[in-house]
Structure 1
Amino acid sequence: MLKGAIARRYAEAIFEIARKQNTIDRSLDDVKNIAEVFGNRSLAYLLREPKVPAQRKETALRQTLADKVLPTSLNLALLIVQRELVDVMPNIATEFENLVLDYRNQAVAKVTTAAQLDEAQSAIVKRALEQRTGKNIVIQTRVDPSILGGVVARVGNQIIDGSIRNRLHVLQQQLISNISASDNDLTSEDFNQPVATV
């Protein structure tokens, strides 16, 4: 089974438990924490290594996570290790976060601007994205001067590119295609016409 499908299945299972227990926020923090712990090189090596006894892996996980996560989240971590899916945990965390966002009718917008946005500008961008997507937008901003101006927003798989860099690129492409089209219209007679001088 593909990594994405496995991640989705586990994320859906833990989400349903969290929804029933009214622990969605805490479970989201836990799942992110587990993914981060599994990203630790030395611990990840221990958890992946087939020669390490299962009991030792479980003990290491309990010592690392027991006082930091809910019992259901700890059980998820133990199950992931038992089924040798340590590498899938970051995908599970991503899928779980997407489920939480969908449940709340929210979407994360990764917004790139050439300069830092102030509060009023952020509010305008947020409102525009909410109107476009129909979701409550959570903005994550970053600055990239190479876009020259305007805004580039990524909401899920959708990219909205209102940057000056993109507008210049589109204009350049239009000019090139117009020049190419007019070049195709030229005939040998066009070259025999006298050129007007100014």
Structure 2
Amino acid sequence: MSELTTIVRPYAKAVFDLAIEKGELDQWSEMLYFAAEVSCNEVISDYIGGMHSISKLADLFICVCGEQLNEFGQNLVRIMAENNRLKMIPEMYIQFMALRHNYEKQVDVYVFSAIVLDSAQLDAIARKLEVRLARNIRLDCSVDETLIAGVVIRVGDLVIDNSVSGSIRRLKDTLQS
């Protein structure tokens, strides 16, 4: 996987730099997302893996994407086809979005709670995390009834466990030491 990341990084960085230069971050996000979905399609994926001419492969991919790709997106597909990298578009999309989130100082926060949280509770969590992390927060919330009560917040490698089950687990570990 790290080899794939290393191979795709220059493409993602170049596309990101172009998107910033042109002021088209949203458009490039949409184009790359669509192209990633196309490359994951079973029929297209099999076709990409087959022995076809580069120009036919690029033309088919561009034809399937239709108006979703502008001229720069089409050029990207041609370059990736020439370098036998069309299957790597999903990874490139992931890296592009990571660059975008870093640029926009955004972070995805996963909130697991024992019950559905109301908007006031979610706003309070978002405000506190924005201050702590100095980033714009995007919350992704889900219910986990095994928590008994409270919340678990995950931001990358950071985990904040304010759940009853987490407190019980910590108490158990303390008593056993």
Q: TM-score, normalised by structure 2?
A: 0.90
Q: Given that residues 48 and 86 in structure 1 are in contact (C-alpha distance below 8 angstroms), is that contact kept between their aligned partners in structure 2?
A: no
Q: In the alignment, which residue of structure 2 is the partner of 1:40? A: 41
Aligned residues: 176
* 2:17 equivalent to 1:20: no
Structure 1 runs of 4+ aligned residues shifted over 3 Å read none
Structure 1 pair 150/77, CA: closer, same or farther in 2 (3 Å)?
A: farther
Over the aligned positions, Cα root-mean-square deviation in angstroms equals 1.7
**Larger radius of gyration between Structure 1 and Structure 2:** 1
Cα distance between partner residues in 2 of 1:155 and 1:139: 10
SS of 1:123's partner is helix
Structure 1, gaps ≥5 residues long = 178-198
Cα distance between partner residues in 2 of 1:10 and 1:31: 11
Q: In the alignment, which residue of structure 2 is the partner of 1:99? A: 99
Q: What amino acid does structure 2 have at the position aligned with 1:128?
A: K
Cα deviations by residue, 1:69-111 (Å, 9 ceiling, x for unpaired): 2222222233223322234222211111111111111111122
Q: In the alignment, which residue of structure 1 is the partner of 2:173? A: 173
Q: Given that residues 111 and 139 in structure 1 are in contact (C-alpha distance below 8 angstroms), is that contact kept between their aligned partners in structure 2?
A: yes
* 2:78 equivalent to 1:64: no
Cα distance between partner residues in 1 of 2:147 and 2:104: 32
Structure 1 pair 112/75, CA: closer, same or farther in 2 (3 Å)?
A: farther
Q: Given that residues 109 and 139 in structure 1 are in contact (C-alpha distance below 8 angstroms), is that contact kept between their aligned partners in structure 2?
A: yes
SS of 1:116's partner is coil
SS of 2:132's partner is helix
Q: In the alignment, which residue of structure 1 is the partner of 2:127? A: 127
Alignment of 1:176-187 (within 5 A): 176-177=176-177
Shift of 1:174: 0.8
Q: Given that residues 149 and 165 in structure 1 are in contact (C-alpha distance below 8 angstroms), is that contact kept between their aligned partners in structure 2?
A: yes
Cα distance between partner residues in 1 of 2:90 and 2:160: 26
Q: Given that residues 48 and 84 in structure 1 are in contact (C-alpha distance below 8 angstroms), is that contact kept between their aligned partners in structure 2?
A: no
Q: What amino acid does structure 2 have at the position aligned with 1:14?
A: V
SS of 2:124's partner is helix
SS of 2:68's partner is coil
Cα distance between partner residues in 2 of 1:109 and 1:8: 24
Q: What amino acid does structure 1 have at the position aligned with 2:31?
A: D
Structure 1 pair 65/119, CA: closer, same or farther in 2 (3 Å)?
A: same
Q: Percent identity?
A: 26
Cα distance between partner residues in 2 of 1:173 and 1:57: 58
Q: Given that residues 66 and 74 in structure 1 are in contact (C-alpha distance below 8 angstroms), is that contact kept between their aligned partners in structure 2?
A: no
Q: TM-score, normalised by structure 1?
A: 0.81
Structure 1 pair 162/73, CA: closer, same or farther in 2 (3 Å)?
A: farther
Structure 1 pair 84/136, CA: closer, same or farther in 2 (3 Å)?
A: same
Q: Given that residues 110 and 140 in structure 1 are in contact (C-alpha distance below 8 angstroms), is that contact kept between their aligned partners in structure 2?
A: yes
Q: Given that residues 114 and 146 in structure 1 are in contact (C-alpha distance below 8 angstroms), is that contact kept between their aligned partners in structure 2?
A: yes
Q: What amino acid does structure 2 have at the position aligned with 1:60?
A: L
SS of 2:11's partner is helix
Q: In the alignment, which residue of structure 2 is the partner of 1:194? A: none
